[in-house]
């Protein structure tokens, strides 16, 4: 789910210059890139921070100016909230804006096929801030629709046509990045290495996994974190089991003496309380598994919980037999240990 949220908006491979923020688009041979096996298309892009204004509300936004094929690369149609997935209409440049970003500005897309307009403040190239000069170029931006990908895009991104963005920034033929789309089954690392080999050291080639490295690493380590929390919770719960076995042992002390007088040895007494501890623990394990599976099935088919700011997308869940058996094994081992050592200690202490 995390990979889908971030990979659909970000191109699979992104090329930037190692010598500066921008570079001349003609210095990059796109035919070489397209000739690499696994590459489907490329898209030139200009990235910058700009200020947006709507009536009396102002926000900073991350702007990307892209070519028209970005609509297909990012599968924008699938992520539209309202409006239309266009970067131009009747030769008039239009923009797509993150759903929450437009909401912050108090704007909306009219339902009668109309458009919202924002005032964009584009930083001038090499401009100096002073009392007598304006470091921004201003332009009215026509919003064609709102998009919904992930929180970062929804809160801060606006997509403009490349020509408009370049013109307002004074970039002329300069760009800041080239987005590379690949085939679904392509080996990204292999494609990246081949592109890097063709372009040389003047360009830095990264996959979308490297761009959002922290997010992906965090999501992949989530299972380990949940297991650590599970073990910690079980250790706390084990104190209840220890307390129950201790109180049971104290309560049955007279019965233990009677049984010993009939010939019951320490091993027999130990097994009675040890098995009692296992019964208590495994009753909880069985109830826990049944309730856990029931909750998972309710979410899987009933979609009880939805993710915030994702257009009512259900919280993703998957039942895994391997994970279920792993949790069952882990909790069972901890249950045996939590029953064995307290009973062993109580029997030993009673002997002395």
272-298 pLDDT per residue, tens: 999 999 998 899 899 999 999 999 999
Say if CB 62 and CB 45 are below 8 A apart. no
Q: How confident is the model at residue 69 (pLDDT cuts 50, 70, 90)?
A: very high
Q: How confident is the model at residue 132 (pLDDT cuts 50, 70, 90)?
A: low
Q: Residue 5 contacts by C-beta under 8 Å, 6 or more apart in sequence?
A: 149, 150
Of residues 87 and 218, which shows the higher confidence score?
A: 87
Q: Which uninterrupted H or E stretch holds 272?
A: helix 266-302
Token pair 């380590």 is found at 221
pLDDT at 47: 94
d(C-alpha 121, C-alpha 168), whole Å: 9
Q: How confident is the model at residue 127 (pLDDT cuts 50, 70, 90)?
A: low
d(C-alpha 199, C-alpha 185), whole Å: 23
pTM tops 0.75: no
Chain-centroid distance of CA 250 in Å reads 52
Token pair 């003047």 is found at 202
pLDDT at 190: 92
CB atoms within 10 A of CB 23: 21
Does 304 have pLDDT greater than 70? yes
- Give the mean model confidence (pLDDT) for residues 207-233: 78
Q: Residue 17 contacts by C-beta under 8 Å, 6 or more apart in sequence?
A: 23, 176, 202, 203, 204
- Give the mean model confidence (pLDDT) for residues 22-33: 89
- Give the mean model confidence (pLDDT) for residues 54-79: 92
d(C-alpha 322, C-alpha 205), whole Å: 37
């Amino acid at each position: 789910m995390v990979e889908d949220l971030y990979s659909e908006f970000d191109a699979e491979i992104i090329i930037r210059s190692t010598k500066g923020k921008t570079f001349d688009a003609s210095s990059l041979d796109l035919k070489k890139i397209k000739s690499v096996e696994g590459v489907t298309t490329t898209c030139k892009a200009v990235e910058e921070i700009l200020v947006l204004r709507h009536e009396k509300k102002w926000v900073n936004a991350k702007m990307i100016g892209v070519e028209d094929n970005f609509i297909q690369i990012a599968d924008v149609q699938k992520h539209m909230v309202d409006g239309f997935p266009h970067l131009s209409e009747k030769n008039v440049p239009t923009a797509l804006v993150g759903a929450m970003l437009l909401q912050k500005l108090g704007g909306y897309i009219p339902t009668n096929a109309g458009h919202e307009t924002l005032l964009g403040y584009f930083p001038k190239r090499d401009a100096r801030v002073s009392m007598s000069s304006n470091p921004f170029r201003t332009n009215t931006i026509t919003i064609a629709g709102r998009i919904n990908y992930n929180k970062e895009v929804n809160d801060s991104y606006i997509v403009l046509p490349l020509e408009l963005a370049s013109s307002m920034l004074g970039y002329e033929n300069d760009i800041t990045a080239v987005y590379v789309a690949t085939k679904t089954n392509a080996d990204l690392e292999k494609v990246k290495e081949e592109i890097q080999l063709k372009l040389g050291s003047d360009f830095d080639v990264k996959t979308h996994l490297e761009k959002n490295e922290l997010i992906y690493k965090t999501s992949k380590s989530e299972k380990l974190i949940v297991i650590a929390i599970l073990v910690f919770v079980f250790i706390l719960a084990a104190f209840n089991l220890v307390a129950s076995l201790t109180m049971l042992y104290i309560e049955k002390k007279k019965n233990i003496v009677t049984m010993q007088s009939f010939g019951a040895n320490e091993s027999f007494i130990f097994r009675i309380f040890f098995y009692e501890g296992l019964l208590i623990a495994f009753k909880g394990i069985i109830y826990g598994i049944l309730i856990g599976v029931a909750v998972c099935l309710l979410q899987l088919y009933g979609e009880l919980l939805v993710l915030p700011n994702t257009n009512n997308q259900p919280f993703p869940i998957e039942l895994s037999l391997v994970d279920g058996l792993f949790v069952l094994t882990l909790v069972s081992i901890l249950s045996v240990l939590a029953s064995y050592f307290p009973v062993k200690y109580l029997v030993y202490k009673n002997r002395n």
